[in-house]
Amino acid sequence: GNSVTQMEGPVTLSEEAFLTINCTYTATGYPSLFWYVQYPGEGLQLLLKATKADDKGSNKGFEATYRKETTSFHLEKGSVQVSDSAVYFCALSDRDYGQNFVFGPGTRLSVLP
């Protein structure tokens, strides 16, 4: 079945540091890939997405590129802020199987001033 693997957390960085959160996936068909973010006490919200190979999703300074050859969708940001502290979830949706999303376990990021 489909699955998503993320790097273990928690990740602690100083403000303005470079961020990478690794995500790899296993899927049949041609999935769309997503990064969701969950701020403390809130529900998940979409951060960015990519629907086909080599697409780059970007939002709020975050970027991720859909790499089919390595089945990866790593999240990056050049300079993190304290307000980026949250849990980040990688996810996929395989259109061949409808709208069923598969989420990774989440990576908690803490950014220190």
Partner 1 sequence: NAGVTQTPKFRILKIGQSMTLQCAQDMNHNYMYWYRQDPGMGLKLIYYSVGAGITDKGEVPNGYNVSRSTTEDFPLRLELAAPSQTSVYFCASSSSGTGPGELFFGEGSRLTVL
Contact set with partner 1 (CB under 8 A)? 4, 31-32, 34, 36, 42-46, 49, 51, 89, 93-95, 98-101, 103-106
Minimum CB distance to partner 1 smaller for 10 or for 113? 10
What is the DSSP track for the chain? --EEEE--S-EEEETT--EEE-EEEE-SS--EEEEEEE-TTS-EEEEEEE-STT-EEEETTEEEE-BTTTTB--EEESS--GGG-EEEEEEEE-GGGTT-EEE---EEEEEE-
Minimum CB distance to partner 1 smaller for 17 or for 22? 22
Minimum CB distance to partner 1 smaller for 27 or for 80? 27
Q: How far is the CB of 113 from partner 1 (least distance, A)?
A: 25
Q: How far is the CB of 107 from partner 1 (least distance, A)?
A: 10
